[in-house]
A and B are shown apart, each in its own frame.
Chain A
Amino acid sequence: MAGRGRGGGRGRGRASMSFNVEQLGFTAGEALPGPVLQPPPIYPPMENKPVPLQTGVEGEYMLALKRDFVEFLRESPAFITPTAAKADIERYSDRYQVALAKKSHGELKFDWARFPPELRPQTKITGKRKQQPAKSTEKQAKIIRKSVDIVGRLDELEKKEEQQSDTEGGGDEAEGKEDEEKEDGEEGVMEDMEDDPDEEMDEGTDYINNYFDNGENYLDEEDDNLDDGPIY
């Protein structure tokens, strides 16, 4: 209001208001309060204390309900957490955090007919995706063929061995053994490939295993001998 007054004021000094100042309760001689140049305080003092909250059994029960509901949602899959950025180094404690974060309340069941198709988990198969399954089936076929081959070859080898043992008797076992070793080698590679992840896991969870060495085998001669080389 004051600004407007000044804009239209005709230089009548103090009384440059659009209305009579005396209406506000200031007598003619009284000085007007100065302009406010600061923003009001962020936390103005409270003049009146607020009334205390109503308390009662109902309120407490509702509190419990509220807490339960929030807790339920927090643990349910509805509480979406961002995919955490990978830490620069793998920490030992990370493994336990993953276990803690596991959701306890199963999956949310959606009725997909009620959702727009773009939100459904499997939308239309795009060109790229169409190709991928085809490739994978090829791969699978290959693997199957391979495994069939292996079985076939094993059979062959077995027959060979039998023939050898039949013809040569128990005399020349070394050759047969060599063959076996070859086979073992091949199989061993495959086994290794399968075993690899397991071994890693074992290393990882080694601490949990109840491993106890009573020291009886310490400096056992036989053991030492074993270490020298593999026994076939």
Chain B
Amino acid sequence: MSTQFGALCSLILLEHFGEIVQKVGNDLYKCQSKPLRLIPGSTKLPLQKVKEALRIMIQYDFVTFSMGQLPDRAEYTLLADKVVLLLRYPRYLLLMKTQYGDEAEMLIEEILRQGKDTASRVIIRAATRLKESLKVEKVCLVTLRDKFLVLVNKQFVMRCPYPSEEKDVPELTIKEKQLYLPPDINLKGLSDLEEGKPGNPGDEGICWRVNLDRFHQDFRDQIMVSAISRRLDDNAGELLRQLLKQMYLRTEPWVATSNPVPFTELREAVRKQSSYPLLAQYVDQYLKIMEEDSSGFVSKVGDSSGGQYSLNMKTAFIQLTWATIENIVMERFGSKAARIFRLVKAKKFVEQEQIQQIAMIPAKEAKLLTYKLLEENFLQMQELRKSLASNVPNKTFFLFYIDLNQVARMVLEMCCKALYNAMTRREYERSENRRMIEKQQRIELITLNMKEQGATSEQLAEIEEMLTPPEQALLEKVRIMINRLNEAELQLDETMFILQLYLSYQI
């Protein structure tokens, strides 16, 4: 929780929910938790607006509340991590689209848009939107409901906790077994509601929200599979995917090391898969390669039933983090610095003299690069005295080493900073060219209206010409720049995801 992270958080709130929510969010970020009455004082906002902002943030699960020091007064806490996840929403939706289809994507998007909602309302809104986008008269509500049930079953959506008893500050709880209990939706009531008649779908009061952890689990698996595919080949990637499937049968998804999977079962699973004939033939050899690979994703833990293999999530993410940071050093300081960095990584603790000898870089350049890395905190220095007397300088060794945990945190911080900068720049570009963008929007609107009224192509061309060529060129330039910044934000988030996962495994 740093100031940088807080700044990013506040900018995200501003972009999505406006100025007031941003101010309240900032205020809550600064102090751990706060009762309602104290917020207007420090934010200089009217109480009514503060209330509105808190309602919104509770609705989207960005703020939680609990009984405070004073009885019957709630204290509010901001969950900054969840706010930053707003940047990842497009990725969640893309995953849904590719794996479960358009309907699932629409359902998830509807829940994300509302924060939380009942199943029936989500289904109806998704149905209306599907009708608009597909331009069809009727959307099958049964399919949508079934999709929703699939999502519940796969634990992508879960029930919201509800207040157990009437208290001054409601205490939200939910039992473990109720979390993924499928909803009982009355289809008759649902279709009545969709046609605009009063109907009762029978799930009033049961709210659903998106289980973001489940998405992260899928992202993690994707990252691991693609890493292995890149390192070895697609067959190995597929093998890892099968291994992950087997793992989920007997292991909690977020443990550091999975329970062992017997070789025979794995081979059976691979055989059922017909799209990779080569893999079925050489399962044992692929396993052997993966096991011996320095990445350490898979390790052999026993010999019974043809060999027992387990997946090392923690090691995998340590390796991925190393790779990420090595690449960052490479891009920022050049390949020679990257060589020094890798050398220090391999030797754990190493002296300056040794670095220049082993890395085979001229003495002066090696020193320059090492100190630069030290200055930027990618390397750390450990002082080692042979004698405790301070006036014997010659007996002191300076050893360089890498504290991965610290470097990862620093890089995460850099990512936050970069995100912040990208978002600020994007807003700046937009506000600089606001008049132009608005003009373009107006012209588009007019063109659309004219088309509906059946205007001739000449008239349309005339309207088009209201934007002069230089204006159009400028607009195009701004559009490209904004898009690129947006894309950079999405990809920065990918790096952040790996680092965050690494840090979460360290705890």
Q: Do A and B bind each other?
A: yes
In the assembled complex, the Cα of A74 lies from the Cα of B21 at a distance in Å of 12
- Residues of chain B from 149 to 202 with CB closer than 8 A to chain A in the complex: 160, 162-163, 168-170, 172
Chain A residues with Cβ under 8 A from B307's Cβ?
none
The dominant DSSP class at the B interface is helix
- Residues of chain B from 40 to 59 with CB closer than 8 A to chain A in the complex: 46, 49, 51-56, 58-59
The answer to whether A79 touches B17 (Cβ under 8 A) is: yes
Chain B contributes a number of interface residues (CB within 8 A of A) equal to: 63
Q: B293 near A: Cβ within 8 Å?
A: no
Residue B162 contacts which of A24, A78, A113 (CB distance < 8 angstroms)? A113
With CB as the reference atom, state the residue of chain B lying closest to A10.
B391
Write the nearest CB–CB distance from A72 to chain B, whole angstroms. Answer: 6
Given contacts A58-B94, A66-B490, A78-B59, contact A119 B36 (CB under 8 A): yes
With CB as the reference atom, state the residue of chain B lying closest to A111.
B207
Given contacts A69-B112, A114-B163, contact A82 B491 (CB under 8 A): no
With CB as the reference atom, state the residue of chain B lying closest to A52.
B484
With CB as the reference atom, state the residue of chain A lying closest to B172.
A114
The dominant DSSP class at the A interface is loop
Contact bitstring B358-402, A, C-beta under 8 A = 1, else 0: 000001100100000000000000000000001001101010000
Q: A85 near B: Cβ within 8 Å?
A: no
The answer to whether A69 touches B18 (Cβ under 8 A) is: no
Q: B497 near A: Cβ within 8 Å?
A: no
The answer to whether A73 touches B367 (Cβ under 8 A) is: no
Given contacts A63-B486, A113-B170, contact A118 B36 (CB under 8 A): yes
In the assembled complex, the Cα of A113 lies from the Cα of B205 at a distance in Å of 9
Q: B90 near A: Cβ within 8 Å?
A: yes
- Residues of chain A from 23 to 41 with CB closer than 8 A to chain B in the complex: 23-25
Given contacts A51-B331, A62-B94, A108-B114, contact A116 B49 (CB under 8 A): no
Q: How large is the interface on A (under 10, 10 to 19, 20 to 34, 35 or more residues)?
A: 35 or more
Contact bitstring A93-120, B, C-beta under 8 A = 1, else 0: 0000000000000001111011111110
Q: A7 near B: Cβ within 8 Å?
A: no
Chain B residues with Cβ under 8 A from A110's Cβ?
55, 59
The answer to whether B483 touches A63 (Cβ under 8 A) is: yes
Given contacts A61-B94, A113-B163, contact A80 B334 (CB under 8 A): no
In the assembled complex, the Cα of A114 lies from the Cα of B60 at a distance in Å of 12
Write the nearest CB–CB distance from B116 to chain A, whole angstroms. Answer: 8
Contact bitstring A185-199, B, C-beta under 8 A = 1, else 0: 000000000000000
Q: B74 near A: Cβ within 8 Å?
A: yes
In the assembled complex, the Cα of A51 lies from the Cα of B490 at a distance in Å of 15
Q: List 19 A-B contacts (CB under 8 A).
A: A20-B393, A23-B352, A50-B331, A58-B94, A59-B487, A59-B491, A63-B483, A65-B90, A69-B112, A80-B20, A81-B18, A82-B20, A109-B117, A110-B59, A113-B163, A113-B170, A116-B65, A116-B170, A119-B54
